[in-house]
Structure 1
Amino acid sequence: MSSNECTAHIQKPDITPYINTGPEFLTPEQKRRRELYIRVCDITIASSALFLLSPLMAAIATGIAIESKLTQQEDAPILHTKPSRTKGSRIFTMYKFRSMRPKEGHSALDLFSQPPDKNQDRVTRIGGFLRRYSLDELPQLWNVIKGEMSLVGPRTEDPDEMNFITDSFLRDNIASLRFGRRPGLTGHQQIDPMVGRKNGTVDEHAMVDIQHPNPPTLREYFGVLLKTIPAVIRGTGAW
């Protein structure tokens, strides 16, 4: 057998089934089908959770209003809103319960270039409890229902955040991933034992997100949701 015949023989077997079939290997129809399944799950679970948790959310809103009055900050809002990016790089308004005292001149630099504990003196008493157990993020269920977010996805991105990712490879890849996907209420980054929900740098957050397929399989989707429960109860990575 000649060397060319030998080479042709070696290359003949189809190795496609053994290649990591992340979203870049999915056909458009397969990707649409997977995204549809996830969207149905998002709407069903988020709507049910919003209904069941509405008494708790009302109690939280009342507590924030009372604390604001006691601290002579009656004008401070109950909800904190900020711009973020969703699929297609579209800007949307993300909702959270306010957990910090308002500060004039607050900038993106405060959020990304400083350690989390730099702002601890601004966290309210109720806000500290809400942040520890991620209760401040419950209003984002409405973002999920509106189709601006998913229950499981990459970390939400502030429009200015990309400027603070120092590694060009990470910046290009995370930009591509987030362009094609809705940000998540939870995700791999939030349940990561090292990075946690709110620890780590923006580079570390991006590194965790790009290591996982997009969009997730149903098994991965529900797996992340289940792992989020103990992470929230333990307050993993909270601040």
Structure 2
Amino acid sequence: MTMAMHTDFETSAKDNRRAKSSRNLTKRVLDLSLTSFGILAIAPLLIGTSLAIKLTSRGPVFFRQERIGKDGKPFMMYKFRSMFIDAEERRAALLETSDRIGVCFKQKDDPRITRVGRFIRRFSIDELPQLLNVIKGDMSLVGPRPALPEEVAVYSPRALERLKATPGLTGVWQVSGRADIGFDRMVEMDIAYSRSVSLMLDLMLLALTFRAVLSGRGAY
């Protein structure tokens, strides 16, 4: 490699790092500004949901679960509790009836889901506490679905590529059918997103999220 080629390579690498740093900063500013406004705007919904959960089923209002974030870093993800408190104990018995092909467990008419839980899942209200994860920096508004440790443990090398992006509250998978999308297709969607992250793409996916939530497709 000549000196000129070496210099051009270093310059290109520096430009790429600066561009990536700029995209990350823009994405973080978007996350914090929209999330702060969103929490204030939906405060009545958050309070109402909390009361409905507390008054209709035994157990805490919020559900915390370990998930795997960017570059394999674990974090605690928050959700409104939509299942009975013995849901994890009953999970193993339901694995054989999973509606999802692949490593992710998903079942329609899951008997572990409460009456209120079925409603808040239908409109993705159960996901709203993840706005706190966005504030903390564990998650972004837009990104791949946060994976469970047991899912990542059996990931193929290809699937591990989806961990290169910060997980999100919504994303390509979520606006394309959610649980109706197979695992392998979800992986390809997430990898494609991680390679083409941009402000315009995030804004487009956020806009499409509202339509996906109202349609309820794949939400169970």
Q: What range is the shorter-chain TM-score in?
A: 0.7 to 0.9
Structure 1 residues without counterparts, runs of 5 or longer: 1-23, 166-170
1:125-136 equivalences in 2 (<5 Å): 125-136=115-126
Identify the match of residue 99 of structure 1 among 66, 82, 88. 82
Secondary structure of residue in 1 paired with 2:107: helix
Alignment deviations for residues 126-166 of structure 1 (CA, whole Å, 9 cap, x no partner): 1111000000000000000100000000111111112454x
The TM-score normalised by the length of structure 1 is 0.76
- Give the Å deviation of 1:183: 0.2
Structure 2 residues without counterparts, runs of 5 or longer: 1-12, 100-105
Percent of pairs identical after alignment?
36
**Structure-2 residue corresponding to 1:174:** 159
Measured at CA, do residues 226 and 145 of structure 1 come closer, stay the same or move farther in structure 2, by a change above 3 Å? Answer: same
Runs of 4+ in 1 over 3 A off after TM superposition: 106-113
Larger C-alpha radius of gyration, 1 or 2?
1
Measured at CA, do residues 109 and 154 of structure 1 come closer, stay the same or move farther in structure 2, by a change above 3 Å? Answer: farther
Worse overlay, 196-205 or 27-36? 196-205
**Structure-1 residue corresponding to 2:9:** none
Whether 2:51 is the aligned partner of 1:62: answer yes
**Letter matched to residue 159 of structure 2:** I
1:1-239 equivalences in 2 (<5 Å): 27-68=16-57, 73=58, 76-103=59-86, 105-106=89-90, 114-115=98-99, 116-117=106-107, 120-165=110-155, 171-178=156-163, 180-192=164-176, 196-214=177-195, 216-239=197-220
Measured at CA, do residues 148 and 52 of structure 1 come closer, stay the same or move farther in structure 2, by a change above 3 Å? Answer: same
Measured at CA, do residues 161 and 58 of structure 1 come closer, stay the same or move farther in structure 2, by a change above 3 Å? Answer: same
Give the whole-Å Cα distance in 2 for the aligned partners of 1:65 and 1:146: 25
Give the whole-Å Cα distance in 2 for the aligned partners of 1:219 and 1:112: 41
Secondary structure of residue in 2 paired with 1:117: coil
